[in-house]
Amino acid sequence: MELFVATGNPHKLIELEPALPGHTLRLPSDAGIEGFEVVEDGGTFLDNAVKKAKTLFSIVGEPTLADDSGLVVRALGGAPGVFSARYGSAGASHRLEAAERNAYLLANMAGKEDRSCAFVCCLVLVLSEERLFAVQEVCAGILLREPIGSGGFGYDPVVYLPQLAKSVAQLSVDEKNRFSHRGRACARMAAIMAEIEAEP
């Protein structure tokens, strides 16, 4: 299946392509749409993913896939949540970089004993105005007290996976595809897409 991915970030394709083998992923720019961006004002990851996928579908008229993801920390009432990419930037002179967001998050966790957290990924596939599919998966972990590892991006260095005894930033590409929230969501979406392609 050929899909347009509702993002202006080429890095998203780097993560999605190995997790969706056999499918061709395109960026909006491949359809001549430069600077594709959607205001993510939904209250949930599903709200935002649906909005992004439907917005791009309304432009290209071809199957679209959108991802909305973030980190949920129990002791912070679910924050950063849907604001993960913008966490700590409200009122700041610039949008915080990943390392700055991680430092801000860890500062907000000072003195908190419950360090349970989870990465969440919602994927939405839009095939027509009336037909869409959504999956949402998680990767549960423990928030570290300082970053570990140099791989991945975003909050990966501050989330520890006890079952693997590694931070997410220490995972190989294969491990990340198998255990991450996005990898798990992609596996479920790939199964849905296989069923769709098998339809008479």
Would residue 47 show up in a list of annotated catalytic residues for this protein?
A: no
Report pTM. 0.91
pLDDT in tens, 135-194: 999 999 999 999 999 888 899 999 999 999 999 999 998 888 888 999 899 999 999 999
- Rounded CA separation 76/192 (Å): 34
Of 163, 78, 148, 87, the C-alpha closest to 119 is: 78
Half-sphere exposure of 43 (CA within 13 A, CB side): 0
pLDDT in tens, 106-117: 999 999 999 999
CATH of domain 2-197: 3.90.950.10
- Rounded CA separation 4/75 (Å): 37
What burial letters (b/e) apply to 88-100, b meaning 16+ CB within 10 Å?
bbeeeeeebebee
> Once rounded to an integer, what is the mean pLDDT over residues 77-98?
89
Residue 187 backbone phi and psi in degrees, to 5: -60, -40
Domain ranges of the chain: 2-197
Q: Which of 47, 67, 68, 156 is catalytic?
A: 68
Q: Where are the beta strands (DSSP E) in 144-189?
A: 159-161, 166-167
Q: What is the pLDDT of residue 41?
A: 93
CA angle 120, 125, 129 (to 5 degrees): 135
> Is the pLDDT score of 195 beyond 80?
yes
- Rounded CA separation 2/48 (Å): 22
- Rounded CA separation 67/80 (Å): 17
> Is the pLDDT score of 53 beyond 80?
yes
pLDDT in tens, 98-107: 999 999 999 9
Helix or strand or coil: residue 5? strand
Comparing 43-47, 50-54, 99-103, 177-181, which segment has the lowest mean pLDDT?
177-181
Mean pLDDT (the chain) is: 93
> Once rounded to an integer, what is the mean pLDDT over residues 8-15?
81
Of 66, 34, 33, the C-alpha closest to 47 is: 66
